[in-house]
Amino acid sequence: MPTLYFAEGVPYFVVNNISVMMFTKMGVPNGDMSFFTTLLYFPWFLKGLWGPIVDVVKTKRWWIVGMQVLMTALMVILTITLPKPDVATIASGATPISMFTLTLVLFIIAAFASATHDIAADGYYMLAHSPSSQAAFIGVRSTFYRIASVFGQGVLVAIAGIIETRTDDIPLSWQITLGVSAVVFFLITLYHIFVLPHSADDKPRISEGASATAGITEFLRSFESFITKPGCLLAIAFMLLYRLPEGFLIKLCMPFLVHSTAEGGLGLSTETVGIVYGTIGVVALLGGGIVGGLFASKLGLKKSLWWMAAGMTLPCLTFVYLAVAQPTNLVIITTALCIEQFGYGFGFTAYMLYMMYFSEGEFKTSHYAICTAFMALSMMLPGFVAGYIQEAIGYVNFFWMVMACCFATLVVTYLVDRKIDPEYGKK
């Protein structure tokens, strides 16, 4: 499980984070860079459309290993074919995105492969674990996904930065970084080919010799069974609104930390943000996820839900304080950010458990994939407008607005709390 969820995270962060940094350093204008890298995120939003295919064709293990082999190959090809704009073009800041057409095509294929891998891995997790075991290990699962986040956003970027400093060759630095990604992912894939267990419950829903009509029928049944589930609209509302405050906050937290105090930020250096938020903060986030998993496995989802909903408000409170007080003491800032990260990690546990709870049944893999599509949408919708709102009203008012959005979290928590089985998630 640890290596499986590390493998789930690495390609996601390579596609969605490394691409942003790489295109920026290569001199691609911000408009083109942001537009095309945003498009790369859509496979995770759309993956519910083909989730039923993964559910009914072949085993989840087959899809996991197959997608890992494909992503390894794509990383190798990306490394070999990465364009190398000259120094003058990069310095001009007008490198045409058309130069990276093949790179974008490879990234989008990797995005679809990674999203498919997510579907299979999540389905495999639910098949291989009982509900109580799912609750107990959900914190560990989240931990290794976050470790992949540190690797993708921290280690790989650091490698590129070190090579660039030593060689003064930006394209080479990113080519080597992608090569490191390929090697690491190849080793994980090789390990899973031989070690990933075969679950007795991991079986294709249609037989090898079944007709195409049978496959389509199963495909349609999975969608129909999702939308006809009791409480479907309420579940969708919960998935869209529970994280609404974080959906706004997550887009502006890093700019807030680095913007000057005159602009309403804290004026921290990039290096300081990397240490305080990207390292110490991630440790707090992992701690919140692990504690949340243990807490939920002891009390069950229903009894822990309100505690975790309260945890989701902590990020809002700490950023309101930071925006109003604008402290300069690094210990105070670090403490506030750790509270924010711990609270989010703790509160997010309930969200993941609820998606698993609602996905229980005949088509749990495809239903969970549909749920994760709504999870992606819950981040995309506020993210599209968060920056424009902040520019219009400033950081202090923006964080107060985010605080007001916590009301939506509490409302949907109240509504779903009455529908949850009190025994779900308990050991």
CA dihedral 50, 54, 56, 59 (to 10 degrees): 170
CA dihedral 382, 385, 387, 388 (to 10 degrees): -150
Higher-confidence position of 376 and 81:
81
- Lowest-confidence range among 60-69, 71-80, 248-257, 301-310? 248-257
Q: Sorting pLDDT into bands at 50, 70 and 90, what band is 211?
A: very low
Q: Sorting pLDDT into bands at 50, 70 and 90, what band is 268?
A: confident
- Please check whether residue 27 is in contact with residue 93, taking contact to mean a CB–CB distance below 8 angstroms: yes
Q: Return the structure tokens found at 131.
A: 């509900």
Separation between Cα atoms, residue 78 and residue 19, nearest integer Å: 11
- Lowest-confidence range among 46-50, 69-73, 307-311, 396-400? 46-50
Residue 292: count of CB within 10 angstroms of its CB:
30
pLDDT in tens, 69-93: 999 999 999 999 999 998 888 888 7
Residues of the chain with pLDDT > 90, as a percent, come to 27
- Please check whether residue 135 is in contact with residue 305, taking contact to mean a CB–CB distance below 8 angstroms: no
pLDDT in tens, 3-44: 888 999 899 988 887 887 788 778 877 667 777 777 888 888
pLDDT in tens, 399-425: 999 999 999 999 999 998 888 877 776
At residue 240, the pLDDT reads 92
57 sits in which H/E element: none
Instruction: DSSP letter for 84, please.
Output: -
64 sits in which H/E element: helix 60-81
Name the residue among 106, 90, 104 with its Cα closest to residue 170: 90
Higher-confidence position of 215 and 304:
304
80 sits in which H/E element: helix 60-81
Separation between Cα atoms, residue 65 and residue 190, nearest integer Å: 9
Q: Is the pLDDT of residue 1 over 90?
A: no
Separation between Cα atoms, residue 356 and residue 425, nearest integer Å: 10
Q: Is the pLDDT of residue 384 over 80?
A: no
pLDDT in tens, 169-187: 889 988 998 999 999 999 9
- Identity (one letter) of the amino acid at 255? P
Q: Sorting pLDDT into bands at 50, 70 and 90, what band is 129?
A: low
Residue 280: count of CB within 10 angstroms of its CB:
15
At residue 128, the pLDDT reads 66
Q: Is the pLDDT of residue 326 over 70?
A: yes
pTM listed for this prediction? 0.68
- Identity (one letter) of the amino acid at 417? D
Higher-confidence position of 219 and 127:
127
The most distant pair of C-alpha atoms in the chain lies apart, rounded to whole Å, by 68
Burial (Cβ within 10 Å: 0-12, 13-18, ≥19) of residue 259: middle
Burial (Cβ within 10 Å: 0-12, 13-18, ≥19) of residue 285: buried
- Identity (one letter) of the amino acid at 294? L
Q: Return the structure tokens found at 412.
A: 């949907």
At residue 60, the pLDDT reads 85
At residue 212, the pLDDT reads 47
At residue 37, the pLDDT reads 77
Beta-carbon-side half-sphere exposure of residue 338 (alpha carbons within 13 Å):
13
